[in-house]
A and B are shown apart, each in its own frame.
Chain A
Amino acid sequence: MALNSAANDPVIVVRDLQTRFGETIIHQHLDLTVQRGEIVALVGGSGSGKTTLLRAIILLLEPSAGSIQLFGQEIVGISESVAFRLRRRFGMLFQQGALFSSLNVRENVAMPLREHTRLPARRINEIADLKIALAGLPADAGNKLPGELSGGMLKRAALARALALDPALLFLDEPTAGLDPVSAGAFDELVVQLKESLGLTVVMVTHDLDTLWQATDRVAFLGERRVIGYAPMAELTRAEHPLIQAYFEGPRGRAAREQSCKAR
């Protein structure tokens, strides 16, 4: 993973995607492209299929039609061995953290390293401790069980695990949900900092308007089973589509925009 990456180099290309649960169609003719080094957010009303899209991209859900390319590799219908090697290149932060409750934080972070590399155990522990520090946790947190952590620390520990393999691509599902405003702000800053120093590409699902203004390069708005708006935040909020208008023109949307204008 080189740091000085060429722009205009798509990491994710979704074309004409269709997903369905039984008779219910979630996505239809959905297109989305994410460039390398971008932070992209997926937004939309509840039930618009944000998390489902994320799950399809990270190989947890087989789409019923269409194509998804990750790093130029088609992932619809690939073999398990190719999928295994591909999984090494991205990290996922689940909404509830999804840390393994029987393992302490260090063991949780070390797990992908043990599974995917042949590094000696001592190095794996060193790397795990580094990731815990990178995620902004104190070193003592490594010995704790997930049950002993607060919500904010849990998110950070989960981020440390998502970063374990130095992925080129990071997925975040509602990273700031349930965090206090200070922790949420610090988390946004952390993501931007990691993106800049590691050259990460980040795709996140979020409802947090402050995150959308502060941390994203582009925002994809999901509605009517497809992407109905895809632009930087300032531009997207001026879009004329009624769904987008309704989403951003509430009192909270306006407050967040004013806040961000002041900050600039």
Chain B
Amino acid sequence: MTGGASWTLPLPPADRATLHYANGVVRCAGDWTLDGLEDFDSRLPSDLPSSSALTVDGAGIQSIDTIGALRLLTLIADLERAGGAVRLINLREEHQALLDLLKERLAAAGTATAPQPPNRLEQLGRRVAFQTAHIIQFLAFVGEAAASFIRLAVHPQRFRWRALFSDIETAGVNALPIVALLAFMMGVVIAYQGGQQLQAYGANIFIVELVALTMLRELAPLITAIIVAGRTGSSYTAQIGTMQVTEEVDALRTIGIRPMDLLVLPKLLALMIALPLLTVFADALSVLGGMVMAQALLEVSFQDFLDRFPQVVTPTSFLLGVGKAPVFAAIIALVGCYQGFQVRGGADSVGRQTTVSVVQSIFLVIAADALFSIVLGGVGLWR
């Protein structure tokens, strides 16, 4: 190291900043720096000297940084509030210069007006207006998607087929393992829980009805939709949201490409194709899970199970289950994309909208499923 100065590594030990009070004079000493001041407040006596004329002597201050200068200013302000006039003397020239710079900057900045928190009624009103606006915006978004869809039907050559196929691969093909595992386990669980009850009545063979109908009509479409909402809906939101943050969406608009055509329609169609196929796959795997359990627990062999299966499962049951899937797919894709476009600002907003997207799409999927049950039950299609 050259020169006379030395560094102590990695931090130099600082002399603590100190105050010494005697005969109307407050003497400051030590390092009035971040390091020297760290425990300054805890060492400060609770009662400051109050006198009508105090002198603060800064001669002992060895070094000062902005944090020290600020502490000195607040100390003087505190002393003035407790007593009367305070005079600052013997400060080194460069220390005084720093103090002056701080005073000037603080004066230039002015004082912040603390934002008034709105009262309860105003908060409620704002929430209602906010949510209503969101519902209207979402409906407008769905309408815009439908209009794009019609444009596509008129000019199919303009459609982005490549985006469609790659979306089908990521949303459908890549989801096969997780859907297989969860559907199989659902089949096992239903067969196990129901099987114990059936065994008590000696009605073992009815396990076929139980597994086949619950799975094909309700659980397989629902569980697949929930997996896809968590897996794909969230990624749609995150992708579009990040593009929104980096202004890629605006870039698309300036080039003359509708974000709806490039980002939403292929995703929507891809999911409406992939989700029914995934549902059929889940149907098969969950029935297999039920069969395995039936053989292990209820002595219903694969042969018996498969013989009875076509007798109890009508094509209508199967088609109604699979038929719900495109509706679920549309909900997931539209909510996911819509929430992506709602991202404003930065990373924080992407995370928030992704959460909202998954929660809303799962909620809407289950609500739609309930609606299906009521409507289809009402027109007698379940039987």
A222 to B195, CA, bound (A): 76
A6 to B5, CA, bound (A): 6
**With A89-B11, A118-B38 as contacts: A126 and B74 at CB distance below 8 Å:** yes
A10 to B11, CA, bound (A): 16
Inter-chain contact A73/B112, CB cutoff 8 Å: no
- The contact of A89 among B10, B37, B95, by CB within 8 Å, is B10
Judged by a CB distance under 8 angstroms, whether A127 is at the interface is yes
- The contact of A117 among B10, B38, B65, B106, by CB within 8 Å, is B38
In B25-61, the 8 Å CB interface with A consists of: 33-34, 37-39, 41
Identify which of A46-54, A131-139, A204-212, A247-255 touches chain B: A131-139
Identify which of A15-23, A24-32, A141-149, A237-245 touches chain B: A141-149
Judged by a CB distance under 8 angstroms, whether A2 is at the interface is yes
Inter-chain contact B67/A9, CB cutoff 8 Å: no
Judged by a CB distance under 8 angstroms, whether B63 is at the interface is yes
- The contact of B95 among A1, A3, A72, A163, by CB within 8 Å, is A3
Total B residues in contact with A, Cβ cutoff 8 Å = 46
A154 to B347, CA, bound (A): 16
**Chain B residues near A88 (CB, 8 Å)?**
11
Q: Report the minimum CB–CB distance from A155 to chain B (whole Å).
A: 16
Judged by a CB distance under 8 angstroms, whether B111 is at the interface is yes
Inter-chain contact B74/A133, CB cutoff 8 Å: no
Inter-chain contact B33/A139, CB cutoff 8 Å: no
Inter-chain contact A139/B10, CB cutoff 8 Å: no
Inter-chain contact B70/A130, CB cutoff 8 Å: yes
**With A88-B11, A145-B345 as contacts: A139 and B111 at CB distance below 8 Å:** yes
Inter-chain contact A71/B10, CB cutoff 8 Å: yes
- The contact of B7 among A72, A163, A166, by CB within 8 Å, is A72
**Chain A residues near B347 (CB, 8 Å)?**
101-102
Inter-chain contact A166/B66, CB cutoff 8 Å: yes
Inter-chain contact A130/B106, CB cutoff 8 Å: yes
Judged by a CB distance under 8 angstroms, whether B1 is at the interface is yes
Judged by a CB distance under 8 angstroms, whether B135 is at the interface is no
Judged by a CB distance under 8 angstroms, whether A65 is at the interface is no
The chain A residue with its CB closest to the CB of B34 is A166
Judged by a CB distance under 8 angstroms, whether B94 is at the interface is yes
- The contact of A2 among B9, B63, B105, by CB within 8 Å, is B63
Inter-chain contact A137/B109, CB cutoff 8 Å: yes
Judged by a CB distance under 8 angstroms, whether B119 is at the interface is no
The chain A residue with its CB closest to the CB of B106 is A133
Judged by a CB distance under 8 angstroms, whether B311 is at the interface is no
Total A residues in contact with B, Cβ cutoff 8 Å = 51
Judged by a CB distance under 8 angstroms, whether B315 is at the interface is no
B70-105: contact bitstring with A at CB < 8 Å (1 yes, 0 no)?
Answer: 110010000000000000000000110110011001
Judged by a CB distance under 8 angstroms, whether A5 is at the interface is yes
Q: How many residue pairs, one in A and one in B, have C-beta atoms under 8 Å apart?
A: 120
**Chain A contact residues: helix, strand, loop or mixed:** loop
A142-173: contact bitstring with B at CB < 8 Å (1 yes, 0 no)?
Answer: 11011100000000000000010110000000
Residue picked from B1, B10, B71, B114, most chain A C-beta under 10 Å: B10
A10 to B2, CA, bound (A): 8
The chain B residue with its CB closest to the CB of A8 is B3
Residue picked from B2, B5, B34, most chain A C-beta under 10 Å: B34
Inter-chain contact A5/B11, CB cutoff 8 Å: no
Q: Report the minimum CB–CB distance from B246 to chain A (whole Å).
A: 11
A39 to B53, CA, bound (A): 44
Q: Report the minimum CB–CB distance from B310 to chain A (whole Å).
A: 57
Q: Report the minimum CB–CB distance from A34 to chain B (whole Å).
A: 13
**With A9-B3, A101-B347, A101-B349 as contacts: A3 and B94 at CB distance below 8 Å:** yes
Inter-chain contact A134/B98, CB cutoff 8 Å: no
**With A85-B11, A101-B346 as contacts: A3 and B64 at CB distance below 8 Å:** yes
**Chain A residues near B2 (CB, 8 Å)?**
8-10
Inter-chain contact B41/A123, CB cutoff 8 Å: yes
Q: Report the minimum CB–CB distance from A200 to chain B (whole Å).
A: 10
**With A5-B5, A6-B5, A146-B346 as contacts: A134 and B105 at CB distance below 8 Å:** yes
Judged by a CB distance under 8 angstroms, whether B115 is at the interface is yes
The chain B residue with its CB closest to the CB of A75 is B10
**With A123-B41, A129-B112, A130-B66 as contacts: A147 and B346 at CB distance below 8 Å:** yes
- The contact of A3 among B63, B67, B102, B109, by CB within 8 Å, is B63
Judged by a CB distance under 8 angstroms, whether B348 is at the interface is yes
**Chain A residues near B62 (CB, 8 Å)?**
2
Judged by a CB distance under 8 angstroms, whether A140 is at the interface is yes
A102 to B7, CA, bound (A): 38
**Chain B residues near A100 (CB, 8 Å)?**
348
Judged by a CB distance under 8 angstroms, whether B254 is at the interface is no
A137 to B110, CA, bound (A): 10
**Chain A residues near B34 (CB, 8 Å)?**
117, 165-166
Judged by a CB distance under 8 angstroms, whether B157 is at the interface is no
Q: What are 5 A-B residue pairs whose CB atoms fall within 8 Å in the complex? A: A36-B5, A71-B10, A127-B67, A134-B105, A197-B97
3 closest A-B pairs by beta carbon, nearest first, are A101-B346, A147-B345, A133-B109
- For the A-B complex with A166-B33, A197-B101 known, give 5 more contacts whose Cβ atoms are closer than 8 Å: A6-B3, A102-B347, A138-B109, A139-B110, A198-B66
